[in-house]
């Protein structure tokens, strides 16, 4: 019995799952690139396209390349990831709020 027999082995995915992830990531890169380069969409629609595909691409990378899911072994990793997203969101929203207030009160 080796020392590794007592540990759960993490799933590293199959070639098929990596290919699916790669194709999804490529498509989610091409879509916003096309939206910006073609210039057919309004600035708001282009911005929304870029943001939505960016969020989807993060989810694709977490699922297919980092293998994060709702299994018991990954719950702590998912919790830490969600906490990190929360902290970053607080910092970004707080910074935007402070900067908007500074601009508003200094210009009016």
* Residue-averaged pLDDT of the chain: 88
pLDDT in tens, 75-95: 888 888 889 999 999 999 999
Statement to judge: residues 59 and 14 lie in one domain? yes
Question: CB neighbours (10 Å) of residue 65?
Answer: 14
Domain count, the chain: 2
Report the run of H or E that residue 22 belongs to, with start and end: helix 15-38
Q: What residues make up the domain containing 36?
A: 1-67
Residues 21-48 pLDDT 10s:
999 999 999 999 999 999 999 999 999 9
CB 68 within 8 A of CB 77: yes
d(CA 42, CA 36): 10
Question: 83 and 47 in one domain?
Answer: no
Is the pTM for the entire model greater than 0.85? no
Contact (CB, 8 A) for 41 and 33:
no
The Cα angle at residue 59 between residues 14 and 64, in degrees rounded to 5: 5
Same-domain pairing of 33 and 3: yes
């Amino acid at each position: 019995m080796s020392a590794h027999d007592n540990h759960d082995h993490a799933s590293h995915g199959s070639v098929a799952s990596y290919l699916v992830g790669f194709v999804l990531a490529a498509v989610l890169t091409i879509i916003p690139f096309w939206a910006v380069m073609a210039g057919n969409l309004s600035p708001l629609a282009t911005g929304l396209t870029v943001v939505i595909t960016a969020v989807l691409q993060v989810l694709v990378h977490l699922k297919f390349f980092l293998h994060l899911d709702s299994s018991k072994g990954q719950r702590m990793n998912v919790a830490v990831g969600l906490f990190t997203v929360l902290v970053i969101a607080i910092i970004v929203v707080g910074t935007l709020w402070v900067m908007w207030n500074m601009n508003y009160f200094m210009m009016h």
